[in-house]
Chains A and B, each alone.
Chain A
Amino acid sequence: MAERSLKLEIRDMTKRYDNGDGVEHINLKIYEGEIVTMLGPSGCGKSTILRTIGGFLDVTDGDILIDNESIVKLPPEKRPTAMVFQSYNLWTHMTVYENLAFGLKLRKIPKDQIRADIDKHLKLVSMSGFEKKYPTQLSGGQQQRIAIARSLLLKPSVLLLDEPFSALDAKIRQQMREELKKIQAELGITVVFVTHDQEEAMALSHRIVVMNKGKFEQVGTPTEIYDNPATKYVASFIGEMNFVEKDGKTVAVRPEDVAITSEPADIQGCVRTIMVLGHYVEVNVQCGDLVVKCFVDRDQSERLNPGDPVNLKFLKTHIF
């Protein structure tokens, strides 16, 4: 990417809760027009960071800057951020239109302008014609669309998304993911996205921050993180990975990087199970106490039977 301007910067930020949990010494730079995902298991501190950016949590130490201005002392209503929560975003006593207009009215925007803006944004999230409905009349996915539209209407510097799709079912989740990516590309808005779903993170992000126990494990593009995991934790959290102990070291190898051959190779075993997963086949091979997972193509799998002795060759490995 060419010269990018810095949008959001977190400088040595620490947030400690009363019980001692929290995040420490967080440093992160997010550039204009990027989708950066905080990925990690629940309780790893990813939401904490997002909430400090949004202003819903005060920081113990450090600074947060947007467009080179510190926002750390501002209350949420004064920050140039907009947040979409996991659920209960909308106010049930207001219609969809009133929900969307609420923030604009506070900004004293003329009525005609509000109407035009809302029309445009409802179209953007494919929800035209729902103005007069109440939130409870909408499905979960539709509610999240409205919530996203409400945030976008305020033209925030940074859009914060706190697991916005995790309450939705798988199919709608994938659809929303794709639409969010499209909208983001259209508007060129900077997005910080929080999720515990690695597939979602891989699909959406320009960069992923993998977190564990309040610390950054690795920051990088999805391909970097998938191809070159920096730590064993990242390797196990992102995608599927086999871990083989060899000469006192842990060798990590992706199932698609394991080749089944008849010639002598890295490791020997017996075919345990063969599962067809569509265009590829998962073969689990028992090697001593270890089960190694391999993804092979259909042709090859047809020549295999459970119990067959096989040799496994590791095409690409990471050593920890």
Chain B
Amino acid sequence: MFKYLNPKRFYYAVGKKKFLEFILLAVFMLFFYGPLMYMCITAFGNVYEVPNIFPTEWGFKWWNFVFSQKSLVSSIVQSLTIAVITTVCSMVLCIPAAYSLARFRFPGRKIFMLSFLLTNAFPKLGIYTSIGILFYKYNLMGTLLGVVIIHMINSMMFMVWLPCSAFQAVHKQQEEAARDVGAGPIRTFFQVSFPMAMPGIMVATLYTFLGSMEEAQGTLLVGLARIKTMPVEMYGIILDYPGQAGAVFAILLMIPAAVMIFAMKKYIGPEAIAGGFKMK
């Protein structure tokens, strides 16, 4: 049986092109899923020491450990709370902005759009430092509000660009038709423009939520280690506990992302994302 696994045999069986593709795929899979697999193995290994390739004892020991740590559990709650607040505030603030950018032509519109890129173009640390100076002045350091503002700044680009292009895809006539049959401007927005732009808005919301869930740098700096979200807690765990606890925690951190992506897989696609970056 093993002779059929001989690379030479395989090479001639499938041809040169397929063989190279296979190698490339294998390398890619290993590169992509290797760390993920290692993480999963680690998380379920009660005893896992250096010379062994696999854990010598499997189990949920580290899971129990993580859940017994009060600070870890509270950080999960903290993370979710901040992510929800950030997402809601971001929507309330950015969606009207996106709508007006999509509908009205005013001087400086393009510059305004591009300005959202700036926060992502500079090294974050520099921005956080200068924000820190302002935050100290307004007593926002170490507060929930301060952290939410930092998260919102990071999400703003997605939250404006993606819904903006989604609103542009709604035709003026469709809104006018709604006005024509008797809907006022506000009803027209909520029952016609908004639902029709929903796919784009959903993708942006997802980015905002996930971005907030995994943001560590800014949270750590502005939160002054008083606001402990999961990624912030991760730093401590990596330093203080064995790798297994970190792996368990990483998996926990992944769950909300995986759930959200699965729930919204209908809306997420290369076109939806690429569409958001068209400058119209």
Contacts and interface: CB of A to CB of B under 8 A. Distances in A.
A76 B180 contact: yes
A106 B187 CA distance: 10
A93 interface: yes
B15 interface: no
B183 interface: yes
Contact of A81 (B177, B180, B183): B180
A102 B183 contact: yes
A75 to B, nearest CB: 7
B125 interface: no
Given A77-B182, A77-B184, A88-B171, A83 B196 contact: no
Given A92-B196, A93-B198, A107 B182 contact: yes
B182 A103 contact: yes
Interface in A85-118: 85-93, 102-103, 106-107
A77 B183 contact: yes
B195 A76 contact: no
A56 B176 contact: yes
B192 interface: yes
B110 interface: no
A103 B196 contact: no
Interface in B180-219: 180-184, 187, 191-192, 195-196, 198
Contacts of A150: 177, 181
Interface in B50-91: none
Nearest to A160: B180
A30 interface: no
Interface in B127-174: 171, 173-174
Contacts of A89: 173-174, 177
Interface in B6-40: none
Contacts of A75: 179, 184
A166 to B, nearest CB: 13
A81 B173 CA distance: 15
B176 A83 contact: yes
Max chain B C-beta neighbours (<10 A), residue from A89, A91, A103: A91
Contacts of A54: 176, 180
Contacts of B198: 93
Contacts of A88: 171, 173-174
Nearest to A92: B196
A77 B180 contact: yes
B269 to A, nearest CB: 17
B195 A93 contact: yes
B178 interface: yes
Contacts of A91: 174, 177-178, 192, 196
B173 A154 contact: no
Contacts of A81: 180
Nearest to B171: A88
A85 B191 CA distance: 19
A102 B180 contact: no
A82 interface: yes
Given A91-B192, A93-B195, A106 B182 contact: yes
A54 B138 CA distance: 51
Contacts of B178: 91, 102
A77 B182 CA distance: 4
A77 B195 CA distance: 20
A54 B177 CA distance: 10
A107 B187 CA distance: 13
A90 B187 CA distance: 16
Interface centre among A55, A87, A92, A147 (most CB of B within 10 A): A92
A174 to B, nearest CB: 24
A82 B192 contact: no
A88 B176 CA distance: 10
B191 to A, nearest CB: 8
Contacts of B192: 91
A107 B182 CA distance: 8
Nearest to B181: A103
Contact of A106 (B171, B176, B183): B183
B174 A76 contact: no
Contacts of B171: 87-88
Contacts of A87: 171, 173
Contacts of B187: 106
Contacts of B183: 77, 102-103, 106
A90 B181 CA distance: 12
Which 5 residue pairs spanning A and B have beta carbons closest together? A103-B181, A88-B171, A76-B179, A85-B173, A88-B173
Given A91-B178, A102-B183, 14 more contacts: A75-B184, A76-B180, A77-B180, A77-B183, A85-B173, A85-B176, A87-B173, A88-B173, A91-B177, A93-B195, A103-B183, A106-B187, A150-B177, A154-B181
28 contacts: A54-B176, A56-B176, A76-B180, A77-B180, A77-B182, A77-B183, A77-B184, A82-B180, A83-B180, A85-B177, A87-B171, A87-B173, A88-B171, A88-B173, A89-B173, A89-B177, A90-B174, A90-B177, A91-B178, A91-B196, A92-B174, A93-B195, A107-B182, A150-B181, A151-B180, A151-B181, A154-B181, A154-B182
